[in-house]
Amino acid sequence: MNWKDLYKSKVVDAKEAVSHIKSGDRVVVGHACAEPVTLIEAMVENRENYSDVEIVHMVAMGGSEYVKPEMEKHFRHNAVFVGGSTREAVNAGRADFTTCFFHEVPKLFKEGYMPVDVALVQVSSPDEHGNCSLGVSVDYTKAGAECAKIVIAQVNKQMPRTMGSAFIHVSDIDYIVESSHPIIELQPPRIGEIEKAIGENCASLINDGDTLQLGIGAIPDAVLLFLKDKKDLGIHSEMISDGVVELVEAGVITNKKKTLHQGKTIVTFLMGTKKLYDFIDNNPMVEMYPVDYVNDPRVIMKNDNLVSINSCVQIDLTGQVCSESIGSKQISGVGGQVDFVRGAAMSKGGKSIIATPSTAAKGKVSRIVPFLDEGAAVTTSRNDVDYIVTEHGIAHLKGKTLKDRARNLINIAHTDFKEELIKEWEKRFNAKF
Ligand code: COA
């Protein structure tokens, strides 16, 4: 059968598609802004026919109805990253959290740690060869579809067609649900004075020709504001958002000096507005690959002068970085932070930056602390950490004694907390600050 007839034979409505999910199945859901909203709504609608369906997801950008208390006997969410819509359920014990480096998530599916029964994905319309693009999320979504016994795809006419290794062929899909609706958007964050100061400090560590990884949120976006005078920057990043488009259009990001994938922006997923989605649609200058390639530290390191910029919750005076919990309360996950911290460490001329406001909770607490809160996860170890940046400056920790790294961290702490931190330093090192 040619692919066009094959395609037609697989088209069903959403209700029928989700009837192929069975009680006890493990369902992997397409990531972030590529969440197949129509399929999830249909699955939730069909809940009375299921018990104990496990839903594996990372950054859940939809409503995550399946974590509501009344869904408990039908669904159990297993989060590989905790986002805003699933945080309460994970911490209330109604959902689980599996900690895993982002680059190893596909391995969980491929090597039988988490066998996949069903993949719910969202893809573009097929091209003339029958290839659908996974669009804005290739990451673990592709591995989920490759490993699943049943693949249900929402073919969305509005899903952009991204390049690289973003494709799934019609013959590898079991059920197709057609739709046309806008892709979930992430609006640009508000960038205040503190974020701007942090952005400017980070930008001072970036040289012409460097290749960048930028995390999510206000700080990475603030860094981009201060890169307008740089030349020939490159991107090899887990994700990008709208800010990158402006720098490409301004001729700042050219990828010309990259030592891997020269001339190309390399990413594994995208979160932004239609402006970003239009920019990457059919754009051969942006290539998307699975996360076990993009985030593999052995791949990242092939980019000389790789600078990674991520954020955190708390840092102790020895340089242990917690980026995923407030005490024992899980608020996110390791994501790709350590993948890039390690890749940057191995890159010739590479640097990793953890950039954070010096305080949290409206200035009431210092993020630089003598000891991490009880139960806090060490996300980036003190052996991996390199630069810490706040609005008050830059602390370089790599290669420094415990005494010097603690001093450098205190120098970039907020003035309100310095006295207390200095007291701790003097007690710990039996010296005058
Ligand atoms: N003590 C108490 N509360 C704290 C705190 C601390 N030390 N640090 C943060 N918080 C609170 C904040 O006040 C904020 O509360 P609010 O929502 O009530 O305002 C909340 O926790 C979130 O903190 P914030 O720093 O504003 O979050 P963010 O959106 O900037 O994200 C991380 C920061 C660290 C959570 C995020 O970068 C992350 O998840 N990192 C790990 C994954 C990663 O780096 N991936 C790689 C790139 S995508």
Same domain, 174 and 205: no
Pick the atom of ligand 1 nearest to 213's CA.
Answer: 47
Q: Measured between alpha carbons, how far is 282 from 280 in angstroms, rounded to an integer?
A: 6
Same domain, 154 and 247: no
Q: What confidence tens digit (pLDDT) does each residue in 406-420 have?
A: 999 999 999 999 999
Same domain, 413 and 312: yes
What is residue 19's three-state secondary structure? coil
Same domain, 43 and 155: yes
CATH number, domain at 11?
A: 3.40.1080.10
Q: What confidence tens digit (pLDDT) does each residue in 322-366 have?
A: 999 999 999 999 999 999 999 999 999 999 999 999 999 999 999
Mean pLDDT within 295-313 = 98
Last residue of a domain, one of 151, 179, 207: 179
Torsion of CA 39, 113, 72, 25, to 10 degrees: 50
Q: How far apart are the first and last CA of the chain?
A: 77
Cα–Cα distances (Å) from 397 to 10, 29, 53, 345, 366, in that order, read: 56, 39, 45, 13, 19
Q: Measured between alpha carbons, how far is 334 from 331 in angstroms, rounded to an integer?
A: 10
CATH number, domain at 393?
A: 3.40.1080.20
Same domain, 198 and 145: no
188, part of any domain: no
Same domain, 240 and 331: yes
The binding-site residues of ligand 1, defined as CB within 6 angstroms of any ligand atom, are 215-217, 238-239, 310-314, 323-324, 326, 331-332, 335-337, 360-361, 365, 367
Same domain, 300 and 382: yes
What is residue 380's three-state secondary structure? strand
Would you state the structure tokens that stand for residue 65, as one six-digit string?
């109805």
Number of domains in the chain: 2
Same domain, 109 and 245: no
Average pLDDT, whole number, for the chain? 97
Same domain, 117 and 9: yes
pLDDT category of residue 216 using cuts at 50, 70 and 90: confident
**Mind telling me the catalytic residues?**
238
Same domain, 205 and 155: no
pLDDT category of residue 123 using cuts at 50, 70 and 90: very high
Same domain, 168 and 250: no
Mean pLDDT within 119-148 = 98
186, part of any domain: no
Per-residue pLDDT, 127: 97
324, part of any domain: yes
Q: Measured between alpha carbons, how far is 20 from 15 in angstroms, rounded to an integer?
A: 9
What is residue 49's three-state secondary structure? helix
Pick the atom of ligand 1 nearest to 369's CA.
Answer: 7
Q: What residue owns the CA closest to ligand 1's atom 15?
A: 361
Last residue of a domain, one of 146, 179, 212: 179
**Residue span of the structural domain in which 254 resides:** 193-429
Q: Is the pLDDT of residue 1 over 90?
A: no
185, part of any domain: no
Q: What confidence tens digit (pLDDT) does each residue in 48-82 have?
A: 999 999 999 999 999 899 999 999 999 999 999 99
What is residue 137's three-state secondary structure? strand
